[in-house]
Copies of this chain bind each other. A is one copy, B any other.
């Protein structure tokens, strides 16, 4: 209050303007057509582009490269894309269109794919213009963590967004990538299917590129039956803000539905719920808030209401189809400050207390007893994990005690480094990249039905899924889970969008793209499609291993 008052008296209006301009300018939140930001990097000259004959080219290209927007692509012209897939698998291709003249109303269409009398319908062949988003780079130390001042980092636009706009103008002297994804129907007959995609527009000759897909006689299960425990944290608050809809309104759920279904289709296990205010101290553009109403009455008693929690969980389970785990964040947040509505003061108040304090045990103990009762009544208790963040051992032990005192059957999760002392208490234990479970512990955990995974975050410069990371790194994330003998992979961010996520993936902390891997619309990304590729590969490995084991094909197993 006194601070604002002081500031209101500041005579230096120019200073104030400078500081506020960026922050307070209203940010449009496009869902349809939008313009990309300008790239300030050097690129192929107008002279080089002018030499291009004919003016417009198209070719298949690599899915491992983020082609630069203002350079002539160095690709060997390739008319035919060839690939193999299991039934039920999604496969990716990337085509490029590059031109030295402005084109209007450019569109891409796909034909059905035919193998004799068998057909994969055109609707299974998705094509998206790949759009460019502003990114930055790693820290000088090679990591991606910490506060960053935009001026200290080199910025450029990179190809990542898979746009949902069906028609685009293409500027002269640019390369426009086109992403193709074929989702082979579960019941497709094996065989080699062919078809084509066609790029049309005003002022250009239609360009046709061939597709040849060999469907193998193997079937990938539906994503929600995959074995790998994928855990990308959802942020419903970012959706409400970007779509400018009231939290938990019908409009909010309508906006979330396709975004969350995309995640379900990647095999997501867990519903991310927040059971307190700012479980991660509001580190994202849109902080998480409590999905639980806690009221402290003037007689000292507490009451709880789960209307938001129930509605969100029910939506995710029964509408979206993510129904294997409910993660509740968090018992030991980074800032030990716990919210409740205080009847006495008619305000939201905060208890500052640490695990081991009586006030901590009262706040959480009371809640968890009621929460257990509620979860059991809903039939959700066995799927629910009370999550902790990494803290000193005595704090984690004190928190575990409070949970177990409230209900000894509560499942508990932790993402952090390996701690032998509490490993047995953790139903879902996710280790930081580089940490391993001892072999015997892992075997026991699997026998007990526990989940043992790994995570990456800003710490790793490589591999990672920043917007400037090489696309294949996303695939590697999933493969490392099977390679490193984990049950799955966690990343903290599915859609914690920045202020203007479609155009600018940079954030006040961490390397660009750390906060999200899908875009409003919803729009998928090169990163997300390549992660799904990796998840499919791990599932294929798991399926094959099972089969070889079942059939005793030892040689193949090794």
Is A448's beta carbon under 8 Å from chain B?
Answer: no
Is A71's beta carbon under 8 Å from chain B?
Answer: no
Contact (Cβ within 8 A) B343 A308 = yes
Write out the residue numbers on chain B whose beta carbons fall within 8 Å of the beta carbon of A4: 3-4, 7
Interface string of A48-63 (1 = CB under 8 A from B): 0000000000000000
Within 8 A of B (CB), among A338-387: 339, 341, 343-348
Write out the residue numbers on chain B whose beta carbons fall within 8 Å of the beta carbon of A151: none
Q: Smallest CB-CB separation from A276: which chain B residue?
A: B346
Contact (Cβ within 8 A) B298 A248 = yes
Question: How distant is the Cα of A248 from the Cα of B345 in the complex, in angstroms?
Answer: 9
The smallest C-beta distance from A39 to any residue of chain B, in angstroms, reads 29
Which secondary structure characterizes the binding site on chain A?
Answer: mixed
Chain A interface, number of residues (Cβ within 8 angstroms): 38
Write out the residue numbers on chain B whose beta carbons fall within 8 Å of the beta carbon of A3: 3-4, 7-8
Within 8 A of B (CB), among A293-314: 293, 295, 297-299, 305, 307-308, 311
Write out the residue numbers on chain B whose beta carbons fall within 8 Å of the beta carbon of A246: 344
Residue of A6, A8, A249, A292 contacting most chain B CB atoms (<10 Å)? A6
Is A2's beta carbon under 8 Å from chain B?
Answer: yes
Question: How distant is the Cα of A347 from the Cα of B15 in the complex, in angstroms?
Answer: 33
Contact of A346 among B6, B7, B289, B343 (CB under 8 A): B289
Write out the residue numbers on chain B whose beta carbons fall within 8 Å of the beta carbon of A346: 277, 289-293, 308, 339, 341, 348
Is A247's beta carbon under 8 Å from chain B?
Answer: yes
Contact of A311 among B2, B298, B347 (CB under 8 A): B298
Write out the residue numbers on chain B whose beta carbons fall within 8 Å of the beta carbon of A216: none
A-B contact pairs, 28 of them (CB 8 A): A2-B19, A2-B23, A3-B4, A3-B7, A3-B8, A4-B4, A6-B15, A6-B19, A7-B7, A246-B344, A247-B298, A248-B298, A248-B344, A289-B345, A291-B346, A292-B346, A293-B341, A293-B343, A293-B346, A298-B308, A298-B311, A299-B307, A307-B343, A308-B346, A339-B346, A341-B346, A341-B348, A347-B348
Write out the residue numbers on chain B whose beta carbons fall within 8 Å of the beta carbon of A20: 2
8 closest pairs, A vs B, by CB? A247-B344, A290-B346, A248-B298, A3-B7, A248-B344, A289-B346, A2-B23, A3-B4
Write out the residue numbers on chain B whose beta carbons fall within 8 Å of the beta carbon of A15: 6
Question: How distant is the Cα of A249 from the Cα of B7 in the complex, in angstroms?
Answer: 37
Within 8 A of B (CB), among A1-47: 2-4, 6-8, 15-16, 19-20, 23-24
Q: Smallest CB-CB separation from A345: which chain B residue?
A: B247
The smallest C-beta distance from A237 to any residue of chain B, in angstroms, reads 9
The smallest C-beta distance from A396 to any residue of chain B, in angstroms, reads 26
The smallest C-beta distance from A316 to any residue of chain B, in angstroms, reads 15
Question: How distant is the Cα of A339 from the Cα of B345 in the complex, in angstroms?
Answer: 12
Q: Smallest CB-CB separation from A298: which chain B residue?
A: B248
Interface string of A325-346 (1 = CB under 8 A from B): 0000000000000010101111
Write out the residue numbers on chain B whose beta carbons fall within 8 Å of the beta carbon of A311: 298
Q: Smallest CB-CB separation from A340: which chain B residue?
A: B346
Contact (Cβ within 8 A) A298 B307 = yes
Question: How distant is the Cα of A311 from the Cα of B293 in the complex, in angstroms?
Answer: 23
Question: How distant is the Cα of A425 from the Cα of B3 in the complex, in angstroms?
Answer: 45
Q: A291-B346, A307-B343, A341-B341 are in contact. List 19 more A-B contacts (CB 8 A).
A: A2-B20, A2-B23, A4-B4, A4-B7, A6-B19, A247-B345, A248-B344, A249-B298, A277-B346, A289-B347, A290-B346, A298-B308, A298-B311, A299-B307, A308-B343, A308-B344, A339-B346, A341-B346, A346-B348
